[in-house]
Amino acid sequence: MSKGNYNAFEHAQAQFDKVAEIIGLDAATRELLRQPIREYHFAIPVKMDDGTVKVFRGYRMQHNDARGPAKGGIRFHPLETVDTIRALSMWMTWKCAVVDIPLGGGKGGVICDPHNLSDREQEQVCRGFVRQLSTNIGPNRDVPAPDVMTSGKHMLWMMDEYEALTGARYPGVITGKPVGMGGSLGRTEATGYGVIYVLREALVQLGIDITKTTAAFQGFGNVSQYAAQLYQKLGGTIQAVSCWDNTDQTSYTFRKAAGLDVDFLFSITDSFGSLDKEKAKANGIEILPGEAWLEQEVDILVPAALENQITADNVGKIKDSVKVIIEGANGPTAPEADKVLNERGVFVIPDFLANAGGVTCSYFEQVQCNMNYFWEKDEVMEKLDTKMTSAFLAVYELSVNKKLTMRDSAYVISINRVAQAVKSRGWV
């Protein structure tokens, strides 16, 4: 066990340093990209319901905006720390760069627990946040979005305050808004569909016919539900889906060799994302232990639930039939397991490429807001497909040409794009 506090920012910097080394980045660029380019620290006084005044700490970090306006969420968390926000803002820069959308990275937060605040007080926190930052954010500067413990309603308060201060309508100042109030259609499906667009291209490159493939999904939540839906639509056979059972407080794998029907699964899902075991059994579905999804004789594994699911301990249980693992969740594969999979020649598509459909859709929301013209859902999906496909192909090509893993290739491509931008601008 190493000594000293775990620090997310140091961790992110170390990761960056590793890739910078591979690319051979110069010292000045490294120095610039190792830290946020701008940081705002401020106080938000709020008059509470009981008449007292409480002062909250707010932060906004813009890690880098060389490729376009900064983009990233605003978190409300009682134990928020500056370093966490710094780390997350850096992560956003890479994430936007890998899918090649013209945005930089940012993150913000307020130290508060909404569980202890009434709606009115939360509204005051939101408006106070924007008042402190109004000249430093904007549709062409920095575009916040919902994050931990914030949602569309907070975004609308913030948008409204921004518009009140600037005296005009700027729906593009913020994303994550409800449809009809500047939100984009297709947001619900975006991440899950994005995963499968990438998968489809990968299979094409690997020369595998998707209609002849079988897959096992971990999780049946926001990402997995729609990923499975599109995968089935493209002709793939879903052999297993694992999901959390809230009653038993454990997870189960639902398996049907002939293939599970996504629409049926939707019909037996409750608001927890738990599937009804009895109804499943009646449908001829086997119920297996939670980990069994990983041990299936399938071509594709889609871990789309939690981080750290494929570990050194269980990586050996993955069958030889598995050719592709696509990371729908954040960080589902532990580094040691990643190494083993690489040695075995399994094609692993890294999380921040595979699940970038969400951020891409936020970008689309921003674009639609700025031109005040909103697309139909089909159009959103079509553009998402195009974006994800070309992002994948770029990473894939680099990995082949430079003999890199897909993960390393994705990092290299994104960091390189940002580095190029700061240089082109003559910043370094």
Query: Site map for other proteins, 370-389, x if CB under 8 A?
Result: --------------------
Q: Is 260 in the site for other proteins (CB under 8 A)?
A: no
- C-beta of 132: minimal distance to other proteins in Å? 22
- What are the φ/ψ torsions at residue 391 (nearest 5 degrees)? -60, -45
Contact 28, 428 (CB under 8 A): yes
Q: List Cα–Cα distances, 24 to 17, 30, 215, 395, in angstroms.
A: 10, 10, 38, 18
Q: How far apart are CA 71 and CA 362, in angstroms?
A: 9
Q: Is 397 in the site for other proteins (CB under 8 A)?
A: no
Instruction: Give the residue, chosen from 272, 282, 319, 330, that forms a contact with other proteins under the rule CB under 8 A.
Output: 272
DSSP conformational letter for 80: -
Buried b (16+ CB within 10 A) or exposed e, 387-422: bbeebbebbbebbeeeebbbbbbbbbbbbbbbbebb
Instruction: Give the residue, chosen from 5, 278, 284, 343, that forms a contact with other proteins under the rule CB under 8 A.
Output: 5
Give Cα 368 distance to the centre of its chain: 21
Q: Is 17 in the site for other proteins (CB under 8 A)?
A: no
Instruction: Give the residue, chosen from 78, 235, 259, 289, that forms a contact with other proteins under the rule CB under 8 A.
Output: 78
Q: Is 403 in the site for other proteins (CB under 8 A)?
A: no
DSSP conformational letter for 210: G
Burial environment of residue 378 by CB neighbours within 10 A (0 to 12, 13 to 18, 19 or more): exposed
* Residue span binding other proteins (CB under 8 A) among the ranges 5-13, 96-104, 124-132, 297-305: 5-13
Nearer to other proteins, 179 or 404 (CB): 179
Q: Which of residues 315-334 bind other proteins (CB under 8 A)?
A: 334
**Tokens standing for residue 316:** 């050996």
**Count of residues that interact with other proteins, criterion CB under 8 A:** 48
Q: How far apart are CA 101 and CA 72, in angstroms?
A: 13
Instruction: Give the residue, chosen from 21, 43, 118, 140, that forms a contact with other proteins under the rule CB under 8 A.
Output: 118
Q: Is 55 in the site for other proteins (CB under 8 A)?
A: no
Contact 246, 280 (CB under 8 A): no
Nearer to other proteins, 312 or 400 (CB): 312
Catalytic residue among 54, 71, 95, 107: 107
**Tokens standing for residue 115:** 């569980």
Instruction: Give the residue, chosen from 41, 120, 319, 402, that forms a contact with other proteins under the rule CB under 8 A.
Output: 120
- C-beta of 325: minimal distance to other proteins in Å? 20
Q: What DSSP line would sit under 362-396, residue for residue? A: HHHHHHHHHHT----HHHHHHHHHHHHHHHHHHHH
Contact 387, 426 (CB under 8 A): no
Q: Is 8 in the site for other proteins (CB under 8 A)?
A: yes
Beta bridge partners of 44: 56
The neighbour count for residue 72, using CB atoms within 10 Å, is 31
Which runs of E-coded beta strand occur in 28-170? 38-47, 53-64, 70-77, 104-111, 142-146
Q: Which of residues 221-240 bind other proteins (CB under 8 A)?
A: 222
Nearer to other proteins, 270 or 378 (CB): 270
Instruction: In the chain, count H helices and then E strands.
Output: 14, 12
Nearer to other proteins, 121 or 327 (CB): 121
Q: Is 187 in the site for other proteins (CB under 8 A)?
A: yes
Instruction: Give the residue, chosen from 27, 116, 207, 401, that forms a contact with other proteins under the rule CB under 8 A.
Output: 116
Nearer to other proteins, 272 or 427 (CB): 272
* Residue span binding other proteins (CB under 8 A) among the ranges 2-10, 257-265, 373-381, 415-423: 2-10
Q: Is 93 in the site for other proteins (CB under 8 A)?
A: no
Q: Which of residues 122-181 bind other proteins (CB under 8 A)?
A: 122, 146, 148-153, 176, 178-179
* Residue span binding other proteins (CB under 8 A) among the ranges 109-117, 197-205, 257-265, 314-322: 109-117
Contact 77, 113 (CB under 8 A): yes
Q: Is 115 in the site for other proteins (CB under 8 A)?
A: yes
Q: What one-letter code names the amino acid at 105? A: G
Beta bridge partners of 303: 218
Among this protein's residues, is 107 annotated catalytic? yes
Nearer to other proteins, 138 or 273 (CB): 273
Nearer to other proteins, 216 or 361 (CB): 361
Q: How far apart are CA 78 and CA 351, in angstroms?
A: 28
Indicate which residues carry an active-site annotation. 107
User: Given the rule CB under 8 A, which residues bind other proteins?
Assistant: 1-6, 8, 11, 49, 75, 77-81, 84, 113-122, 146, 148-153, 176, 178-179, 183, 187-188, 222, 247, 249-250, 270-272, 308, 334
